Homo-oligomer: A and B are copies of this chain.
Amino acid sequence: MPNTVGVIGGGQLARMMVPPAIELGLGIRVLAETAGESADIAVTQLGDYRNADDVLRFAEGVDVVTFDHEHVPQSVLRALVAAGVSVHPGPDALVFAQDKLRMRERLAALGVPVPDWAAVASVDELTAFLAEHGGRAVVKTPRGGYDGKGVRVVSDAAEVSDWFEGGEPLLVEELVEFRRELSQMLARRPSGEIALWPVVESIQRGGVCVEVIAPAPDTSEKLREVAAEIAITIASELGVTGALAVELFETTDDRLLVNELAMRPHNSGHWTIDGSATSQFEQHLRAVLDLPLGPTGTREPWSVMVNVLGGTTADRYPAALADQPGAKYHFYGKEPRPGRKVGHVTTGGDELEDVVFRARAAAAFFED
């Protein structure tokens, strides 16, 4: 049985794949850029994920290659496939998580509901889109954005004139009037099996996820069905393998529109480590190895995850654990910088208000 997983990228997502790999007795190896990254304990090679030679050498020691991030170039991914390496998700799927324009084109073609959007190659084209959409819109660089980077809300095309200098078209989207943001996560095996977690509410601040409530409160059965159907369509039609996060807007007129896709474990699924029968990290490992998936039910009626942004663990644990001994603390071994995700805390229980309170209280100990 193939049982050694290679992860490209040494960040916290790779790090959080290590505990379930150890528990399941699977091998795990990580290709990191530099020493001392989050997944350091499993790093077996330092190298450049943009360099096909580095990545091919890394792939020799593993049974399947997967990812901590979506930045590995298509040329490198295709070199892996050409060399016979098992890559999950594969390049044909991953391109839609790498390029937001390709994603919008493909989802629109599939009939999946998305915000109004356009590819704009000039200030004039963007000005025209703005005129048709109430004078404001969201402009995104198709590639390389993350946690709010590469995203600007503009009311004048001149506000992104620097981005047009790159010569590549930009993605522009209507400003959706949304009630809240949701995330539907699932995992899919190469052989087709899919397992979905409950849809969750994701609370963002400045383009960064700060809090997740699982399951999303006050959802109708219809909403849950539509969210699941959208994610299943995307996973199946795009051939996604491993974990998939579909970030959704719940609009003020009760529609669900797809915002972003991530084809890997995702911040909106961190609650599953403590709150689900199978964590997204274990499930991702099972999926990329094409092993049967685990159950995705909740362990408690409510789970709440709060990110720790900035801050430090250095001397905070005694006070935090004394105050909130039952919270589950997760830290990523990262040097704290203002706004940087250095960890998260998850709590669970029967009463949502209480669960939210405890998660925020626990996380607050680590914030500056």
Identify the A interface with B (CB < 8 A): 1, 3, 15-16, 18-20, 22-25, 41-42, 273, 277-278, 286, 291-295, 299, 313-318, 321-322, 325-326, 328-333, 343
Question: Judging by beta carbons under 8 Å apart, are B25 and A343 in contact?
Answer: yes
Selected contact of A23 from candidates B1, B19, B295, CB within 8 Å: B19
Q: Which of A15, A22, A24, A333 has the most CB of B within 10 A?
A: A22
A292:B313 contact, CB within 8 angstroms: no
Shortest C-beta distance, A367 to chain B (Å), equals 15
The reply to whether A295 and B1 contact each other, CB–CB distance below 8 Å, is: no
- Closest B residue to A322 by beta carbon equals B292
Contacts of A293 in B (CB 8 A): 325
User: Contact check: which of B294, B316, B322, B326 meets A277 at CB < 8 Å?
Assistant: B326
Cβ distance A206 to chain B, nearest Cβ, rounded Å: 24
A22 to B28, CA, bound (A): 14
What residues of B have a CB within 8 angstroms of the CB of A24 in the complex? 329-331
The answer to whether residues A315 and B1 also contact, given A294-B326, A322-B292 and a CB cut-off of 8 A, is: yes
Q: A1-B314, A1-B317, A19-B23 are in contact. List 17 more A-B contacts (CB 8 A).
A: A1-B315, A16-B23, A18-B19, A19-B20, A19-B22, A23-B330, A23-B331, A24-B330, A25-B313, A25-B330, A25-B343, A41-B41, A286-B321, A292-B321, A292-B325, A295-B326, A299-B299
Known: A292-B322, A326-B277. A333 touches B19 (CB 8 A): no
Contact of A22 among B41, B278, B314 (CB under 8 A): B41
Q: Which residue of B lies closest to A297 (CB)?
A: B326
B330 touches A318 (CB 8 A): no
Interfacial chain B residues near A328, Cβ < 8 Å: 23
Residue from B42, B318, B330 in contact with A292 in the complex, judged by beta carbons closer than 8 Å? B318
Contact yes or no, B291 A321, CB < 8 A:
yes
Q: Contact between A332 and B25 (Cβ–Cβ < 8 Å)? A: yes
